[in-house]
Amino acid sequence: MDIRNIAIIAHVDHGKTTLVDELLKQSGAFRENQAVAERAMDSNDIERERGITILAKCTSVEWKGTRINIVDTPGHADFGGEVERILSMVDGVVLLVDAAEGPMPQTKFVTSKALALGLKPIVVLNKVDKPDAEPDRALDECFDLFASLDANDEQLDFPHLYASGRSGWCDAELDGPRKNLDALFELVVKHVEAPKQIAAKNEPFRMLATTLSADPFIGRILTGRVESGTLRTGDSLKALSRKGDKIENFRVTKILAFRGLAQAPIDVAEAGDIVTVAGMTKATVADTLCDVSVEEPIDAQPIDPPTISVLFGINDSPLAGRDGKKVQSRVIRDRLMKEAETNVAIKIEDTPGGEAFIVSGRGELQMGVLIENMRREGFELSISRPQVIFRDVDGQRMEPIEEATIDVDDEYTGVVVEKLTGPRKGDLVEMRPAGAGKTRIVMHVPSRGLIGYHGEFLTDTRGSGVLNRIFHSWAPYKGPIQGRRQGVLISMENGQAVAYALWNLEERGKMFINPQADVYEGMIIGEHSRDNDLEVNPLKGKKLTNVRASGTDEAVRLTPPVVMSLEQAIAYIDDDELVEVTPNAIRLRKRFLDPHERKRMAKAS
């Protein structure tokens, strides 16, 4: 069967996973009476809840005798480790762009990787049926984006389509029939080249492993594209590392191929197809699975280095062990090592004490998703404030710079520019009207300056602003950046918070807890209205007397507390504070720094 391998690229919430749903339905991948969940490719619970794609996933459809393998790529730069590996498996990309918003930072990140690999793009302008859609402007911005990313002439001569993924249609003309996705299927078959590997089917078998997972029945499994040769169940293979060292010999116990959303066992895998192989015990991502006669490994795409690090430790608060069952440092370490094995963008280091681990990754969202997965599995953790990773280049200290693309109402542009260019050391790159009373601001800001800024940004823009960020480059260290301005309210007692005490403390600042919440000495229960920390007693009740008079009993009316999400809590804390994460609670607290940690913090700042 003829084969086409494509990846779909889009910014968060531009409709990528919804479009894949329609491709599956219209290609006949589902039975007519089959119950299918919305956004079927978002198989992870967190993906469904947040509406974002975290893990790169493959699916396959048949269209008029051609098998089209589709790779759904993550839309956020924090999960770029998935993107860089997965693009090596495809021969073309479909760039999905919101006709109203145009290309956004995450689009730029993944597209730059695809163009660098020489992949030819197809541009699909999605959501053209929205009232604020401007498909012509979005198309011009796509061309400008490709030109700025040094696309070659063949890549700049890209075909484009107009679509509405939710309505299930795609046409070559804006005023087309709007019936189905046939135009997209036909353009993929016509524009994307068949895999070059098909010509090498008589050579020895070779495959680069790009994703790793585990099946409860068949064990460790690796997915990749067959670069040459054919593979049959029962064949003997070996695994080579990136450097060419032999890792293990193994026998193939099962070969699986993507058929719709499911994987079906097949007897023979041929060059050019994307398949999953089982039988190995040690081989992992970026290793080459090959015939025993092969000596040279396949070149693996280099992965961009991590830019931030977070300290994962055991939960040693007085409330430890009440919610979770996995609290020992040994169990936490095993789980982190397992994560680093499948996610090549994460690096794990042990601290000298052995009870905490430095986890380095791409961004706060990536760390937040890892911590959220662990707390759902029953772990209890203490998490430090993210620290930016610095580099030394020719004796000069370099730090990561991010490109922030901000859409705000015109009236709030002043305060946003002032805060990012002043105390946060950002540089204004572009500022232009975006229509509908909004302004688009593009700035280059040190990663340190954006940690903890998002909550302040939403307050400054009354919740109407949108901020997208992406790693841009390394630049010379820009000097100290001021952290959080407000101090915190710290509990000085152990027990349950009393409504009367919280009511009296409201004039001191904003509360983070409700009455009857368990508190302990050193726990942060609110934000101080001034810049210093203040120890308070949230257990202090009203003194009772035997004298009663009208008007002496005041009704206790509490302002609802500030409830932070996991990412907000991690970004909010200061260097001498921790986030205590359990399956049922997220708490903030002060911490005592051991000498090793104090030295690391001093070096980072």
pLDDT per residue over 115-128, tens digit each? 888 888 999 999 88
- pTM of the predicted protein model: 0.76
**Per-residue pLDDT tens over the stretch 207-259:** 988 888 877 788 888 888 888 889 999 999 999 988 888 888 999 999 998 88
Q: Between the CA of residue 457 and those of 399, 453, 494, what are the distances in Å? A: 23, 6, 34
pLDDT the model gives residue 32:
53
User: What are all long-range contacts of 338-344, with beta carbons under 8 Å and residues at least 24 apart?
Assistant: 339/370, 341/212, 341/284, 341/285, 342/211, 342/212, 342/213, 342/285, 343/81, 343/82, 344/81, 344/85, 344/285, 344/286, 344/303
Task: For residue range 448-496, list pLDDT tens digits in order.
Answer: 888 878 777 888 888 778 887 777 888 898 888 877 778 899 998 899 9
- From residue 245, give the alpha-carbon distance in Å to each of 283, 287, 289, 298, 347: 12, 10, 12, 12, 22
Give the three-state DSSP class for 274: strand
| Between residues 324 and 29, the one the model is more confident about | 324
Tell me how far apart the alpha carbons of residues 83 and 78 are, in angstroms, rounded to a whole number: 10
Cα separations (Å) of 96 from 176, 238, 347?
18, 39, 31
DSSP helix/strand/coil, 197: helix
* Confidence category of residue 48, pLDDT binned at 50, 70, 90: low
User: Which residue's entry shows tokens 């001021």?
Assistant: 482
Output the pLDDT for position 39.
47
| Average of per-residue pLDDT across 409-436 | 86
Query: CB of 423 within 8 A of CB of 481?
Result: yes
CB 231 within 8 A of CB 287: no
Residue 428 three-state SS: strand
**Residue 444's pLDDT is what?**
92
